[in-house]
Amino acid sequence: MMTKDLGQCQEAGEGSVRKERTSTPQAATENSLVRAGYAVPGASLYGYASGTARGMATQARLAIYKYEGFYTDIIAIGAFSAMAKGVFVSCSAGNQEHPFTAEHPYLVDCIRLFMLEMQRGTYSRVDKSMVVKKAGGMGMILADIEGYGEELVVDSYVLPVVVVGQNAELGVEPSPVVATFSSRGPNPVALTVLKPDLIAPGVNILAGWTGALGPARRAEDTSRVSFNIFSGTSMSCPHVSGLAALLKAAHPKWSPAAIKSALMTTSYAMYKNGAPIKDVATGKPATPFDYGAGHVDPMAALDPGLFYDLGVEDYLSFLCAYHYTTRDIKVLTHIDFTCDSSKNYSAGDLNYPSFVASLYTTSGNGGAGTEKYTRTLNNVGTPGTYKVSVSTPSPAVKILVEPKSLSFTRAYEKKT
């Protein structure tokens, strides 16, 4: 089984695209090993997270490379070309959930300190420990500020560090929760497409580490380890890539869109007790703008029953709905295509596994209006009948699905 990683896609998800971050050896090592690393017994970081480390798809082969572009979104350009050739692409949503106002770390110099208390903010946690060490400190207490909730993320520091939440607690449950750093929706470019698509494990992940740099990821750290612990959407991304490789191996005929659909429609947004997944940043129930379709469920994704498929023509129609010119489409897709002026293209009809209904409030209408979407389902399960179940958290919104049931008699039968 072959998968391909677009290196810059992974790194661009961590914030603005910066050239120096697109091909770092540590990024390539950690992400590739989470995707497809062999089982390694006795893995740990200084004795923490000890056990057998393994990638998601241990038999997969990886082709890892970065790509360049010249239009407004180089990720979109590369991802479209990959999709058109049947390659599944997963991207990190990014670690920029809150626009914090803290501009500088709290600095103390000319004083030798045993312990310095600092707050989380704009600068990285490891950089703060570097400042403390250079100031003569022998340890650091890092306190969460408002907006980070009670999330404790593991880092490898250059001196002893204790990280505490606003209200420190032990044995916090339930799990999983949406990480504080995970970027949220709505989609700023295409409002009809829900983003993020889904969530996956990405906090305190043990992964293989390059010997080119110390675990603190700073030149001053001269120690060397074989494994390190990471957090970020760049850790959830390789989990999804590995799962996609497993699904492709089990279902070779599935398209990239079919694999995405299987992962999304079988994900879960509630705990076993029926309570909604929590947002650790607020301590309140998360929403689809936080988790998308939900948290991935690998075993369920192998047998989704139905899926929503998409091809190149569907995406071209989607671009036309957003009034892309022939030149725009050429730059993005490398395809010569002109939108048909006689057609009424609808962005909401992209056969995506989710959608967003935008109800605009104007003077006197209170946001009233009707949005209509069409979807086509492809049967990959046994013959049977599927019935619609609808729930809405707001009585102000009414949802109607027609028909109320769909019956399938054969594999890969399609119905709308």
pLDDT at 251: 94
Q: pLDDT, tens digit, for every residue of 32-78?
A: 888 788 888 988 887 878 889 888 888 887 766 554 453 567 777 77
| 370 confidence band (pLDDT: 50, 70, 90) | confident
Q: At what angle do helices 256-265 and 233-250 cross, to 10 degrees?
A: 110
Q: What is the Cβ-side half-sphere exposure of residue 334, based on CA atoms within 13 angstroms?
A: 13
| 86 confidence band (pLDDT: 50, 70, 90) | confident
SS3 state at 318: helix
pLDDT higher than threshold 90 for residue 344: yes
Q: Which of 70-79, 205-214, 373-382 has the highest mean pLDDT?
A: 373-382
User: What distance in Å separates the CA atoms of residue 74 and residue 8, rounded to the nearest whole number?
Assistant: 9
Residues in the chain: 416
User: What distance in Å separates the CA atoms of residue 62 and residue 6, rounded to the nearest whole number?
Assistant: 11
| 108 confidence band (pLDDT: 50, 70, 90) | very low
| Contact by Cβ (8 Å): 116, 132 | yes
Cα→Cα distances 266→110, 199, 296, 391, 406, Å: 57, 12, 7, 17, 18
Q: 7-45: string of b/e by CB count within 10 Å (b at 16+)? A: bbbbbbbbeeeeeebbebebbbbbbbbbbbbeeeeebeb
What is the average pLDDT score of the chain?
78
- 155 torsion bin: left (phi>0), alpha (psi -120 to 50), beta (else): beta
pLDDT at 98: 43
Pick the more confident residue, 224 or 392. 224
pLDDT at 23: 42
Tell me 116's DSSP state. E
What is the mean predicted confidence (pLDDT) over 236-257? 91
SS3 state at 179: coil
User: What distance in Å separates the CA atoms of residue 160 and residue 115, rounded to the nearest whole number?
Assistant: 9
Among 40-54, 314-328, 336-350, where is mean pLDDT lowest? 40-54
* H runs (alpha helix) in 52-210: 74-84, 125-134
Task: State the CATH architecture for 116-178.
Answer: 3-Layer(bba) Sandwich (3.50)
Give me 270's structure tokens.
């509630």
SS3 state at 50: strand
Where in the chain are all domains bearing CATH 3.40.50.200? Answer: 2-96+181-301
| DSSP H or E stretch at residue 167 | none
| 121 confidence band (pLDDT: 50, 70, 90) | low
| Contact by Cβ (8 Å): 88, 3 | yes
Where in the chain are all domains bearing CATH 3.50.30.30? Answer: 116-178
| 170 confidence band (pLDDT: 50, 70, 90) | low
User: What distance in Å separates the CA atoms of residue 23 and residue 7, rounded to the nearest whole number?
Assistant: 7
SS3 state at 98: coil
pLDDT higher than threshold 50 for residue 258: yes
User: What distance in Å separates the CA atoms of residue 38 and residue 55, rounded to the nearest whole number?
Assistant: 6
Tell me 278's DSSP state. E
Positive or negative, the CA dihedral 266, 267, 273, 274 is negative
- 262 torsion bin: left (phi>0), alpha (psi -120 to 50), beta (else): alpha
CATH number of 2-96+181-301: 3.40.50.200
Mode of pairing for the β-strands spanning 177-178 and 278-279: parallel
Pick the more confident residue, 109 or 302. 302
User: What distance in Å separates the CA atoms of residue 411 and residue 378, rounded to the nearest whole number?
Assistant: 8
SS3 state at 287: coil
